[in-house]
Amino acid sequence: MSDADRKSTSLDPDNWGDLRAQGHRMLDDMFDNLSTVAERPLWQAPTPDQRARYRAELPRGPGRLEDAHAQFMADVAPYGSGNRHPGFMGWVQGGGTGVGMLAEMLAGGLDANLGGRDHMPIEVERQVALWMAELFGFGPEASGIFLTGTSLANLCAVLVARDRALGADVRHTGVRDVRVVAYASKGVHSCIVRAMDMTGLGWDRLRLIETDANHAISQPALEAAIAADRAQGLKPFLIVGTAGSVDVGAIDDLDGLADIAQREGAAFHVDGALGALGVLAPGVAPRLKGIERADSLALDFHKLAQVPYDAGFLLVRDAAAHKRTFTYSEAAYLRHAERGLAGGEWWPCDFGPDLSRGFRALKVWFSLKTYGLDALGVVISRACDLAAALAARIEASPELELLAPVGLNIVCFGYVGGDNAAIAADLQEAGRVAPSTTTLNGRTAIRAAIVNHRTGLADIEALVESVLALGRARAAAAKTGRG
Ligand SMILES: *Cc1c(COP(=O)(O)O)cnc(C)c1O
């Protein structure tokens, strides 16, 4: 193929200088956007006009890059989900960083496929896995893999535990003998429940155990459930501990769960999506004791570690068992070779469900190299300190009530006698501070999850003042309505 032939079909520009100049403008716009994020509303609903512009005809012909960019800046960027804003406290979401953004750009430029084969991006992913193995005391033999999020990491961990319990043959036969049972607290994330059906085991094989006053799993209740199942001839195959529950931030007694799992011959998995990286915060780390005894650990870099979405991670102590669960050596087109590009010892596609995979590891590698683990530990400590400050403000105000103990970075509270769901929605629409809600003991709570590294005391103060103002206004309106 001559150069002229290539030029006529390739998507590369005729003039790289133009693309470069436009690229610099796009990068500058995003830096402007990121550095002024606190000055704009946290969230605003897109207008019907804007939504309509995204029901356009199939674009068969070419358009100008600068036009697409302008449309993005006008219609998309100002109407994001708000998690970068310092007042964002909804759900459990990180705020992203400029370093993460730049690393995403480099990863996009390199366009590496990390399913397998012999190339340096795989070594970067291995490096992060080794760092995590060291950080969590798993040892260098452990395997680690990036996934979209902890939902997928938990699913993969349940699969590894399933195959360990039922034998590798279950991959041939499918799940037939389901006399195995998993245990987790009532506060466990819904993705563990979903993992049970997606692994063919079924919800009936998951016991959701009562929690104690701190919303952590009750070990006496767990012991009783195991005894009852044993009496029925059932076998415990998996105990899931939660390091930071999604609704209130509760941490299970991981050491205690590791003891029980060991005694029962069950696998011990930790859902550390929210709290595992608390090992970096001196105030949290002692409460995570036992995490180093887990057979597998799921965590999210896109939460407290502030890496841009998405960056979930699974660490498995027994790499061979991990590989047995996912590897499939029958496909000729995916054969591993001794040498050449198809060489390489470690193919991520042998350790998870994905074949084609992007370079998620790069933004994590950049974040760890650039900020360092200590700084991430400070971010996590500060999130917990802000949550404690918020709890103290609530307890000092007779109009507000704390609805769950605050052990980590999540505060559940309400306006006494108020409609907490309506107050949360009012706050989101006002665009200054945005908590979400949860249900605790049958009551709707305003839930402030302090995750974003940009959040400060002024945001906590704004949340308290806004809830008080909205609660009072609603109470007054209700009175006049009645009178
Ligand atoms: C966020 C979260 C999950 C789900 O993780 P995703 O990254 O959203 O898939 C699971 N467990 C806990 C405790 C979480 O906080």
Q: What kind and span of H or E run contains 259?
A: helix 254-264
Pocket mutation for ligand 1, best pick of 300, 301, 380 (most atoms within 8 Å of C-beta): 300
Structure tokens, 222 = 């767990």
Residue 458 banded pLDDT, cuts 50, 70, 90: very high
**Rounded-to-integer distance, Cα 359 and Cα 1, Å:** 31
Share of the chain above pLDDT 70, in %: 98
What angle is formed at CA 367 by the lines to CA 153 and CA 407, rounded to 5 degrees? 60
Rounded distance between C-alpha atoms, residue 365 and residue 308, angstroms: 12
What domains can be seen in the chain, in order of their start residue?
A: 112-371 (3.40.640.10), 374-479 (3.90.1150.170)
**Cβ-contact 301, 364 below 8 angstroms:** yes
Report the relative pairing of strands 400-402 and 296-300 from DSSP bridges. Answer: unpaired
Question: pLDDT tens-digit profile of 216-246?
Answer: 999 999 999 999 999 999 999 999 999 999 9
pTM here? Answer: 0.96
- Among residues of the chain, what percentage have pLDDT more than 90? 93
CB of 459 closer than 8 Å to CB of 87: yes
Please tell me the predicted confidence (pLDDT) of residue 482. 63
pLDDT confidence band for 3 (50 / 70 / 90)? low
Atom of ligand 1 nearest to the CA of 312: 7
Name the residue at shortest CA distance from atom 2 of ligand 1: 273
Average pLDDT over the chain reads: 96
The three-class DSSP label of residue 220 is helix
pLDDT reported for residue 465:
98
Distance 189 CA to ligand 1 centre (A): 7
Q: How far are the Cα atoms of 83, 149, 369, 392 from residue 454, in angstroms, in the given order?
A: 10, 22, 20, 21
Atom 1 of ligand 1, nearest CA residue: 273
Q: Find the residues whose C-beta lies inside 6 A of ligand 1.
A: 92, 149-151, 189, 191, 242, 244-246, 271, 273-274, 300, 312
Cβ(237)–Cβ(268) below 8 Å: no
Distance, CA of 273 to CA of 293 (rounded, Å) = 17
Q: Which residues contact residue 437 at a Cβ distance below 8 angstroms, ignoring those fewer than 6 apart?
A: 420, 421, 424, 444, 445, 446, 447
Query: Is the separation of the CB atoms in 148 and 353 below 8 Å?
Result: no
Q: Which of 119, 113, 142, 112 is nearest to 345 (CA)?
A: 119
Provide φ and ψ at 23, rounded to 5°. Answer: -60, -45
Per the listing, tokens 């350790």 go with 351
φ and ψ at residue 387, rounded to 5 degrees: -65, -40
Q: What is the pLDDT of residues 253-288, one digit of tens each?
A: 999 999 999 999 999 999 999 999 999 999 999 999
**Alpha carbon of 199 to ligand 1 centroid (Å):** 18
Rounded to whole angstroms, the Cα distance separating 305 from 368 reads 9
Of 269, 313, 346, nearest to 144 by C-alpha is: 313
DSSP 243: B
Q: Tokens 């991006």, residue?
A: 121
400-402 β-sheet, strand order: 88-89, 434-440, 443-449, 410-415, 400-402
Distant-in-sequence, close-in-space partners of 161: CB < 8 Å, separation ≥ 6: 182, 237, 238, 266, 267, 269, 295, 296
- The per-residue pLDDT for 77 is 95
The strand ranges marked E within 251-344 are 267-271, 296-300, 312-316
Beta-carbon contacts of 479 under 8 Å, excluding residues fewer than 6 positions away, are none
CB 410 within 8 A of CB 438: no
In ligand 1, which atom is closest to the CA atom of 189?
11
Residue-wise pLDDT tens digits, 66-109? 999 999 999 999 999 999 999 999 999 999 999 999 999 999 99
Provide the pLDDT for residue 426: 97
89 near 449, Cβ under 8 Å?
A: yes
Question: Residue with the nearest Cα to atom 8 of ligand 1?
Answer: 149
Tell me the C-alpha distance between 372 and 81, whole Å: 27
CA of 86 to the centre of ligand 1 (A): 21
| Residue 17 in tokens | 């200088």
- The Cα–Cα gap between 400 and 403 comes to 10
Convert the pLDDT of each residue in 32-70 to its tens digit.
999 999 999 999 999 999 999 999 999 999 999 999 999
Whose Cα sits closest to atom 5 in ligand 1? 150
pLDDT in tens, 163-193: 999 998 999 999 997 799 999 999 999 999 9
Count of CB atoms situated within 10 Å of the CB of 392: 13
Q: Whole-angstrom Cα distance, residue 57 to residue 76?
A: 18
